[in-house]
Chains A and B, each alone.
Chain A
Amino acid sequence: MNRLARAALLLVAFSPAFLCGILVAEHAVEVPIWDDLERATLLQKRAEGTLDWRYVYSPHIEHRMTVPRLITLASAALGDGSLVTEQGLIFGVVLATAILVFGLLRQTFPDRPLRTLGLAFVANVLLFSPLQWETFLFAIQTSFVVPPFGLCLALWALNARTGQIAKFVLCFVAALLASNSFSHGVLLWALVFAAVALQHRFGSGRARAAFLAAWLVATAAVLVPHFTVDGYVNTSEFAYVAQGERAPGLQLATLPDRAPRAANFFGAIIGSPLARTTVLDPRSVAPFAAAFLLGLFAVAAGRALLRWRDPALWDRWLPWLAMGGYAVVASAAPSIGRSALLKWSYGLVPHYLTVTVYLLLAVVVLGILFCEDVHARTRSPRVRALLSRIAVAGLGALLAFQTLQWGIGWLGMREWKSARLQSRTAMILLNHFSPTYVRRVGGDLEESLLLVNRLHDVGYLVPPMLPDLRLCHFGVDPRPLPESEARLRAARLSGDTVVVEGEAWLAEVGRRADGVLFTVVGADPSAARVVVAAAELDGMPYAAISPADHRLDGVRLPGLEEWAGFRKKLPWSAIAAEGPEVRHVQAWAVDSQAMLVRPFAQHLGASLDSGRPRVALRAGPGLPRPETTRGCL
């Protein structure tokens, strides 16, 4: 194969990275949620000059997240501390991991460049699958991508043609980074030890013994403080355990009671990469998918053990067995821990895919190695042909399945972005209105208020929280949204509130509105518009449903009401209608990415008729047309 062809094939092999990069760039937004909010304390300490190594090293639940914290600090010191920068870094770490996987493939198939490039393509399809949107678009997940990077770095180093010292240094750096990013990174210390002990061609017996002895010392030096400093109890404010408490995952005494749930949790995590279709419930599919993957891995591991005495063969299999084994153990750990707190189906959340995808990748490569081995040892041409066909058909099936997974991932990224922009609207108004769906922001309101304000105070909440409720903090686009996109569907009185229902879709940006704001035009129409209430949208994840499939079914097809609906109780006191003269309540759809609002075409009229409140939806103008503005004077 000439250089040009190889370069072209290399580009094709890494094309999934390119596609994923575009998707990440399109969907990354500067909105901190949940564990992202933990940075508020870190940045506050930095701003106050009270930051010390002890805090940076302190456990977040059971994770020592030193590396992610250093990344945040570096981003704040060298740049603007943007979350999008960290999301870019996550992509960069995955890209670096993919390059290491390519290196590993070259080590495994040294004389087969086409096979290496083909498998690199498959690996990249898996590693860059947008199904991991909770990893790519959630800044705190720098913690989640560093351990797999460390894994691949260590495995590559152990098989590289470098000296023992270089191998030791690279493995040490990999394990140090991994174990100080997330708790499953700790596994690397054991894994490197095992890999060196089991590798046939590591070097002389003395070199191996020296490496292992030094590795044990290094492991002790790193892990003893890891498990003892601060009593290994949670120090974070934003965590599901209180400060000073031990993570429930470490309370192993309760494990026998919840063993079935832990096993199901494990099945959900392991089966997750193959569990999503548009028809079947992934909770039903995941256990079978897990059994399938684990079964294949076990067969490969069994075959490898049988061939242990063949040094060349065993050393080619070992990195992939280690990778798969790492993914299995790293999936078992949260199953044991999180099953103390959560339903087993939580194992299906997309961020766990970042670990289990390595099991799938290992199974693919081990499958090829398995076929290669049987191929070499069998004399029957029919068996040989059949094996190679099965392997190729399996790859075809995997890639066809991945096109669906990429579609679901793309949809997930859209929904994530939409939800985050709704979180942004809620966050900048957090001091004025309690959000309806506080769990889009954080665990509970009190915690979210504290940390969002803290982040705002140190200047890392972009855009900042609104100081007051004047609408002019948003840019005003005066063009009313057509009723086909934004509509007030119903309004009725309920006690001392007016319940308003409707829907809002921003066709120009292709997503539901990032919130709906309500202003009241009072006696003085020229007065500044003030927001009296904010509604959050509650939409179904958008997935196409063909009307043609239901032409004769008489069913109700999901519409805008389902994709982009909202329901808000407006307090009558906020409308402040005191007599028969009508007060106009204007609704505005928010685009919080552009920090723009656009009015609905309809509005709500409210008045008091003989002391009884009356409300009615009104179409058309009736209100003074707003002017285009950008910012408050």
Chain B
Amino acid sequence: MSPRAVVALLIVLAPALACAAAVWLNAVDVPVADDWARAELLEPGSVAGSFSMDAPLPRWVASVNARFFSGDLRLEMALGFCWVLVNALCVYALCRRTFRDRPGTATAVGFLASLLLFSPMQWEAFLWAARAWSFLPFAALSAGLVVAGSRWSRASKLGAGGVLAAVVAASLPVGAASGDGPRAGLSALPALLGSPFSRTHILPPETLAPVAGGLLLASFLVLALLVVSSRSRTEPRVRALPWLAIGGLALLAGAALVLVVAPPRDVLLPRYTTIGLQLCVAVLPLFALVASDLHSRLAASEVGLRSVLEHAPAFGFGALLVVIGMGWLVGLEGMHGWKAARLRARTALIFLDRFAPAHHTHLGGDAGLDAVRVAAKTLDRHAQLRPPMADGEDLDPFTPGGALAPEHGELSSRRVARDWVEVRGFAWLAEQRRPADGVLLTVRVGDGPRRTVALAEVRDMPIPHLPEHDHIYNRARFPQIEERGAWAARVRRGALPQGVAFRIEAFAADAELLELRRLPGDFVVERSEDGLSARRENGES
């Protein structure tokens, strides 16, 4: 490869490096929703019907992972990333083939395509082992297109195509009908296609997505029409063929999704953004091809139009770069939120046998808590849940860390009634930019061991990052960490020790480091014949 080609390849792969770093930093080995279906592989019948993993290939890979790698979900996420890498490399190869006489355009389009393909906007697909397979069909298609245009023999091409088709077929899930009918399904198609571009603005994604998707769809159809109807020359048509195929597959996948798998209300889920991004990848080279073709066909006297056509791709490149860049920022924030949710789930899973969480969508999605409990115990029995579920009342597997600064968390209010103690506060892990992954309440008699009596959930609240200074005359409200990291728990008398006096303490959990940070505000409760009461300490009641 020439140095120039190496530089071009590095430019194209720069988004891959950035995305890999983001995935590496945010991937956590915590199962969620359909990930629990792997319990069925370990003990058939344990969670039948609650979670789905129908496709043979993902089942086989999960089995291999369970057998040889202790079922570390991050390996399957890495595999998903590899499909995107293959896709991006093949797309770049196709770009070089399409624009073989314009290496600069090939690099620019390849770079934009790479930015789209690795967009963290697909955070659910990158960080959810069960969804990592959604990248495979597109990778297989672009690999197939590269093979089809190669100098291999016809037999080799057919063989490779067959293998790729088999792999794709083995990775496809068997979906259930959405039940909303074809008309409702198809009307949701533009929203599905526009989903990855709808979060880069302040307007609601529900409003923007159909508009963005409609524009994208119309662009693809118009460009395809222009290319196909270009009778005078066959060259643009030949060059456009791979992109028509990629766009066609995206449309087919989108249509299949809205008709068979996802009800219209679900089309904006981040796990489906891959389809819209893939369509955009197809539109980019088509646009460059059509602009260049029209430009070459215009008479020299059409100076204005020629100038517009000459500059349109560069203008679009700049505009798209900003839109995709914003998408990356939103996606990175999405990855951060996903990781925080998984770590909250990890804390809940550790203590699932003792404390039932009031909210559990971050554990099992739409499935009930009982199904999650069964699946978690199954994985735990097979040493596939890390860290394992707690079996005692001590603080294991957490280790004590330093105290949390009062401005980052505290046990701020307590109500001691005859039969219960209620405590509230907030806990924020400032360095990790997220609320605590849970707050453990412990009781301790004298200098005896600490015993966990409750796990308080910290739910966080996603807020837009709007500048507070924009609203200083408005006295607008901006939820601060006290609100975002708020927690509350009530402990019944029966769960408390029999001693005369005991201390109640609260610990903020960091489920990534498995560390507990003590919150200021602990207090002593006395038990008497009349019930429970808080002891006065240092003059305060």
Binding site for B on A (CB under 8 A): 1, 33-34, 114, 134, 275-283, 345-346, 348-350, 388-390, 392-401, 403-404, 407-408, 410-412, 415-416, 418-419, 437, 439-440, 538-541, 543-546, 548-558, 562, 565
Contact = CB atoms under 8 A, between A and B. Distances in A.
Contact of A393 (B317, B323, B365, B459): B317
B475 A279 contact: no
B477 A552 contact: no
B21 interface: no
Contacts of A549: 199, 268, 270, 334, 337, 462
B461 A419 contact: no
A282 B467 contact: yes
A439 B322 CA distance: 37
Interface in B290-346: 304, 307, 311, 314-323, 326, 329-330, 332-334, 337-338, 340-341, 344-345
B270 A562 contact: no
B469 A278 contact: no
Interface string B478-511: 1100000000000000000000000000000000
A191 B464 CA distance: 42
B411 to A, nearest CB: 20
B360 interface: yes
B365 A541 contact: no
A557 B462 contact: yes
A85 to B, nearest CB: 21
B201 A403 contact: yes
A14 B517 CA distance: 58
A625 B318 CA distance: 60
B475 A440 contact: yes
A280 B329 contact: yes
A548 B471 contact: no
27 contacts: A1-B304, A114-B307, A277-B329, A280-B465, A281-B467, A348-B470, A388-B311, A389-B314, A396-B314, A396-B318, A396-B319, A397-B318, A397-B321, A400-B319, A400-B322, A404-B202, A407-B203, A408-B470, A440-B475, A541-B470, A543-B464, A552-B32, A552-B338, A553-B338, A553-B361, A554-B362, A558-B463
A407 B317 CA distance: 22
Contacts of A411: 202, 466
B206 A396 contact: no
B516 to A, nearest CB: 21
Given A279-B329, A544-B204, A419 B474 contact: yes
B305 to A, nearest CB: 11
A540 B463 contact: yes
B315 A545 contact: no
| Top 6 A-B pairs, shortest CB-CB distance | A396-B318, A554-B362, A393-B318, A544-B204, A419-B474, A543-B464
Interface residues of B, number: 69
Nearest to A285: B467
Contacts of A554: 341, 344-345, 359-363, 457, 459
A545 B471 CA distance: 19
Contact of B465 (A279, A396, A397, A419): A279
A509 B266 CA distance: 29
Nearest to A559: B461
Given A114-B304, A278-B466, A562-B479, A541 B471 contact: yes
Contacts of B359: 554
Contacts of A395: 315, 318
Most chain A CB within 10 A, of B318, B338, B465, B470, is at B470
Nearest to B316: A396
Interface of B is mostly: helix
A416 B270 CA distance: 32
Contact of B202 (A278, A400, A401): A278
B472 interface: yes
B412 to A, nearest CB: 17
A406 to B, nearest CB: 9
Interface in B183-211: 199-207
Given A114-B304, A555-B341, A396 B317 contact: yes
Interface in B234-257: none
B302 to A, nearest CB: 12
Contacts of A540: 463, 476-479
B455 interface: no
A135 B278 CA distance: 42
B125 interface: no
B417 interface: no
B40 interface: no
A557 B473 contact: no
A438 B224 CA distance: 60
Given A404-B202, A411-B202, A419-B473, A392 B315 contact: yes
B541 to A, nearest CB: 16
A548 B270 contact: yes
A564 to B, nearest CB: 10
A407 B202 contact: yes
Nearest to B199: A546
B478 A408 contact: no
Contacts of B464: 278, 541, 543-545
B147 to A, nearest CB: 33
A408 B334 CA distance: 20
A553 B204 contact: no
Contact of B314 (A393, A400, A415): A393
A543 B469 contact: no
